[in-house]
Amino acid sequence: MRNILKGFLEKETWMHGLNKYMVVVGIIIIYLAYTARYFGMQNGLVITILTWSFFVFCTPVADAGFLLDFPIRLLTGMRMIYTEIIVWVIALLVNIGAMLFAPAIYQKTLILSLFYHIITHPWPMWIIILLSVIGTFLSIFLGDELMDVSSHHERKHWHKHHGRLQLVVLLGIIVLILILYDYLLKTLGISIHL
């Protein structure tokens, strides 16, 4: 525990990670409070966990997985690239359980109904999951690098052209996923006015 506190005091990158972690935890708590109020505590908890799994599977950044990755990395030193695999297994098991025992829960919110459509229509919807895997593990690679250094100026990999290439690939993945989400919404007849 003393090493963890020392790390926060000495490493600006750890403090950046802690700030990001607190934002993610805050969002989850607020969302849980909202879903518990409207659907009851039990359903609210399940909806929150399934929504978390949606963000694990269907977004190309590791923010949802970061909820578990960051504290495990701090407590055990295990690289986040490995803990993210555990996160994906947990998210998969949660969804298998929900599909087997409470499939109607996916119809409670718009996000979950979209997620249900993605899960139950492998082609072309699983491309979203595939692109998210690539983007997530690319962002985790960068996150692990941040945890290994004391300050941002020590990020040798990132400061070479390699970092720019990773950023371009990640942005490309995000654009492809947005195109697929647009297709999904049109397929389901959902119109979102921005």
15-68 per-position pLDDT tens digit: 666 777 788 888 889 999 999 999 999 999 999 999 999 988 988 776 767 777
143-176 per-position pLDDT tens digit: 656 555 444 455 555 555 556 666 777 777 778 7
Q: Kindly provide the b/e burial profile for residues 120-129, where b requires at least 16 CB atoms within 10 angstroms of the residue's own CB.
A: eeeeebebbb
The CA distance from 16 to 153, in Å, is 14
**Which of 173, 98, 75 shows the shortest CA–CA distance to 133?**
173
Locate all alpha helices (DSSP H) within 59-159, ordered by sequence.
63-76, 80-101, 110-120, 122-148, 156-159
Domain boundaries defined on the chain? 2-187
116-148 per-position pLDDT tens digit: 988 998 887 888 888 888 877 777 776 656 555
**With the C-alpha atoms ordered 88, 90, 96, 99, is the resulting torsion angle positive or negative?**
negative
Enter the pTM of the model: 0.73
Average pLDDT over residues 71-84: 79
Q: Which residue has better confidence, 48 or 84? A: 48
User: If you average pLDDT over every residue of the chain, what do you get?
Assistant: 78
The CA distance from 78 to 85, in Å, is 12
Per-residue confidence (pLDDT) for residue 25, from 0 to 100: 85
Q: Is the pLDDT confidence value at 76 over 70?
A: yes
Q: Is the pLDDT confidence value at 92 over 80?
A: yes
